[in-house]
Amino acid sequence: MSFHTRPVSDDTLVVTVGDTLDFRNAEAFKDAVHPPIDDGKRNFILDFSDTDVLDSSGLGAVFSLYRRVATHDGTVVFAGSSEPVRVVVELTRTYKVFPQYDSVADAQADLT
């Protein structure tokens, strides 16, 4: 699975996660999101609207992204999280680290 990325400003990128972010594709996620940091992207909006599976490996990949952008005063936010993603966010309390937005548009309005 490939992750779709779309720049929305000089320093902000929207990442459409798709069906799953789990042990099978966590490395591919990192391969998709880490290079844009070198190109100046600091803020990442993760669109989880169509995501049915988010496991610990997927969360680990998101935290890896967060650690990299935090050193550049960047942020990672979740947008449009599906019900399965919301359950994981609540159980793991990752809402304390990653701001939650109802939609990509809401996140984009706040970040850009």
**pLDDT band at residue 1 under the 50/70/90 scheme:** low
Read off the pLDDT of each residue in 10-24 and give the average, rounded to a whole number.
Answer: 96
Pair of tokens at residue 96: 């304390």
Domain contains 110: no
Domain contains 28: yes
pLDDT at 108: 96
pLDDT at 2: 72
* pLDDT tens per residue across span 46-81: 999 999 999 999 999 999 999 999 999 999 999 999
Query: Count of domains in the chain?
Result: 1
Strand partners, 78: 46, 100
Domain contains 111: no
Q: Between vectors from CA 53 to CA 52 and to CA 59, what angle results, nearest 5°? A: 135
Helix (H) or strand (E) holding 110: helix 104-111
- Contact of 98 with 67, CB cutoff 8 Å: no
- Contact of 89 with 56, CB cutoff 8 Å: no
